[in-house]
Chain A
């Protein structure tokens, strides 16, 4: 097979940070290459350089032997490079068709021919077996469908090389499986595929070759046959990673968190939590398993006082929490690791130290009366950065300067270092690299062993299975079953998550 893409000695610096240090790699036609690495390893920068969105400081990029001008997206597209971005590059208020033709519109006499464009969309979507409604508005589409539009956008331009930047980060397990199928079929038709991920299982499932980056450098190149999940994890992190969580038997105490007959509405005012009751005891982890969008978000927000409870109660150690009052929920002993760390977990322009006291900046010792005590805030910051292994040159830098995994560690450090009675952790490892996942998991287990009641909500079934002591399956806004983790059967839980009776 001929070499489709060859990247030679790419180096790119952002200020004092070297995002890519002398990276070389190759993709052949019909080959699926997985680009693996922790957050901040330089994967996104590398593919952006290939696509011309970032201008490398040195090195060359060749497509089918021809050298691409650095930083020229239009040329990269014309040479047959297509990219599916991590953050969808779609105009939310426009239709599927309009998004697909943007930048390369079929015209007659200077006018866009929407009708012809729509037929073309239908044709491509049929050719590749990716069904889509050409007239749907992007903002109305579920994430999986929007991603499909992104892929079609690339395919429409006759791509020979398709780059996907963390395509599965936002997908449900079913959507992920569908996507991997699509990628295999595309490769069969001769398209070279370069995809970024940090989910090892996907890599093992579809990749022909695996290239691993670490701290901006090449850490190695291998194939699924020559490697294993733990071997890859070690290459990414640079040390041995324990993927299996090691935990002892839970020593459950008295009931710490109790939710009783709760009903909650979602943003569209539809009832999405339809009468949920459960208890979490001190010193145990209750995992809520379920496909996203079955009421988990509303459940978590209602417990933590961020969303109105239509009816039902939440109590911590027998004391009922007032409705819609996050501050009081926190003061009654509820820690919250929110699902969306950018939106609810951090203020990205504030320093890491300030973020670490975000929900107690007004308490002793961080403040006396009206006056903040910066010394305490700083020493707390230094201490937690060290304890929770937050990788940063200084705790005084803005939280926005951290990589995803380290941002999440800031949130986890703030919530778990307070030793409250209850921890509500929603998707605590979403978009986080393996090294950080291991760390966060161990922290949650450690909190449990200290006697904290942990409510873990996750769309990753593996995470639920490995951490939980008891597992509740949520479907359609109701808990359909609660099982002991020791007797849990992966397939059975999967079926219940899909709404089938066990």
Chain B
């Protein structure tokens, strides 16, 4: 099932690319380049979900984490007039939100959905209450020209000239994928997410591992929010993240809680959006803007409908761990 869907998606993507390439090579590469930019925050946010849920903690506070991080990174960056300071503040904000979720969900054993809702409401409230107009950051994070690769045909224009968070993000996703399936940390995390007492009886601290993973995941969520504010557009508005944190959960499910699977799903999302944009610019299709804006949400619903009942979440997801249960 999984293989067939991923084949279809790859085939579709290649068809899209070929369609544009036959018209104009530079358009084709710029569509893919834009797709990566659309995909990155979704992919990073999906990693937050993967890291948390693989150890058994449901995180629906990704949206709030991203929103608050985008806010702090933008305004601190604007106030001190240094984008890099903003970047650090954004990541730290995410880390703190991750720790907050860990305290509520792991230590206090709260219902994890409610813990996530608290984070979302907190972020939405704070960011609209503290929002001020007429702030701006000195510049967005500047894109990097990759040596050698930049001059390659097709690959160069697609992969080169992205911002620093994009490159870090891609490396992180690949690293997470390898770590999850090839390191002791990954094996233990997956065991904790499936059957925590098996890890506990093997001498692995369930609580500690959940704390570490949820906190790091929070920092990555912060990075995703910071990307939107400082690398992608360079502004901040109320409700800035527009549900990307929730879309990311759908992407995580579609990717079967696998970092690479989720990355692939995010790229497909990005490509769908980039393609529609390009078709609008080329005036091939005439669709009202509202329908274009609907695309991510419609895709989310479709994906969840396709995946429903066919994917199996980590077994211990959402269940607080009680050690002294007899």
Contacts and interface: CB of A to CB of B under 8 A. Distances in A.
B201 A91 contact: no
B315 interface: yes
A85 B201 contact: yes
B324 interface: yes
Contact of B199 (A14, A54, A77, A102): A102
A324 to B, nearest CB: 23
Contacts of B187: 98, 101-102, 105, 112
Interface string B200-212: 1111110000000
A101 B201 CA distance: 12
A103 B194 contact: no
A90 B326 contact: no
B34 interface: no
Interface size class of B (residues with CB under 8 A): 20 to 34
A100 to B, nearest CB: 10
Contacts of B199: 102-103
Interface in A267-297: none
A101 B199 CA distance: 11
Contacts of B323: 53
Contacts of B188: 102-103
B203 A94 contact: no
Interface string B143-187: 000000000000000000000000000000000000000111011
Interface in A81-119: 83, 85, 89-94, 98-99, 101-105, 107, 110-112
B190 interface: yes
A85 to B, nearest CB: 6
B184 A105 contact: yes
B106 interface: no
Contacts of A60: none
Contacts of A107: 183-184
Contacts of B203: 73-74, 77-78, 103-104
Which residue among B188, B194, B195, B201 has the maximum number of chain A CB atoms within 10 Å of its CB?
A: B201
Given A45-B326, A55-B324, A111 B200 contact: no
Contacts, number: 74
Nearest to A85: B201
Contacts of A89: 195, 197-198, 200-202
Contacts of A198: none
A83 B182 contact: no
B183 A102 contact: no
B209 to A, nearest CB: 11
Contacts of B197: 89
B191 interface: yes
Nearest to A42: B326
Contacts of A48: 326
Contacts of A77: 202-203
A20 to B, nearest CB: 11
A14 B322 CA distance: 14
Contacts of A94: 190-191, 194
B43 to A, nearest CB: 24
B182 A112 contact: yes
Interface string B18-57: 0000000000000000000000000000000000000000
B324 A112 contact: no
Interface string B278-300: 00000000000000000000000
A54 B315 CA distance: 24
Contacts of B184: 105, 107, 112
Contacts of A380: none
A415 B271 CA distance: 62
Nearest to A75: B203
What DSSP secondary structure best describes chain A's contact surface? mixed
Contacts of A194: none
B202 A102 contact: yes
Interface in A59-79: 73-74, 77-78
Contacts of A45: 326
A91 B204 CA distance: 14
Contacts of A90: 195, 198
Interface string B116-149: 0000000000000000000000000000000000
Nearest to A44: B326
A14 B326 contact: yes
A19 interface: yes
B201 A53 contact: yes
A340 B143 CA distance: 62
A112 B183 contact: yes
Given A14-B326, A101-B187, A112-B187, A53 B200 contact: yes
Nearest to B198: A89
Contacts of A85: 201
Nearest to B185: A110
Contacts of A101: 187
B183 to A, nearest CB: 6
A265 to B, nearest CB: 22
Given A45-B326, A98-B187, A103-B203, A111 B194 contact: no
A83 B326 CA distance: 16
Contacts of A53: 200-201, 323-324
A253 B312 CA distance: 53
A339 B16 CA distance: 57
Contacts of B198: 89-91, 99, 102
Nearest to B184: A105
A73 B206 CA distance: 12
A111 B183 contact: yes
B194 A91 contact: yes
A91 B316 CA distance: 11
A55 B326 CA distance: 12
From A73, A93, A101, A102, residue with most partner B Cβ within 10 Å = A102
A19 B202 contact: no
Nearest to A51: B201
Contacts of B202: 77, 89, 102-104, 153
Nearest to B192: A91
A85 B199 CA distance: 13
A283 B144 CA distance: 88
Nearest to B178: A111
Contacts of B183: 107, 110-112
A54 B191 contact: no
A111 B201 contact: no
A73 B326 contact: no
Contacts of B191: 91, 94, 102
Given A53-B324, A89-B198, A153-B202, 12 more contacts: A19-B326, A54-B326, A55-B324, A73-B201, A77-B202, A78-B203, A89-B195, A102-B191, A102-B198, A103-B202, A103-B204, A112-B184
8 contacts: A19-B326, A73-B200, A74-B203, A83-B201, A92-B195, A102-B204, A103-B199, A111-B182
Closest 9 A/B residue pairs (Cβ): A103-B202, A74-B203, A89-B198, A105-B184, A89-B201, A91-B195, A91-B194, A102-B202, A103-B203
Interface of A: 14, 19, 44-45, 48, 51, 53-55, 73-74, 77-78, 83, 85, 89-94, 98-99, 101-105, 107, 110-112, 153
Interface of B: 182-184, 186-188, 190-191, 194-195, 197-205, 315, 323-324, 326
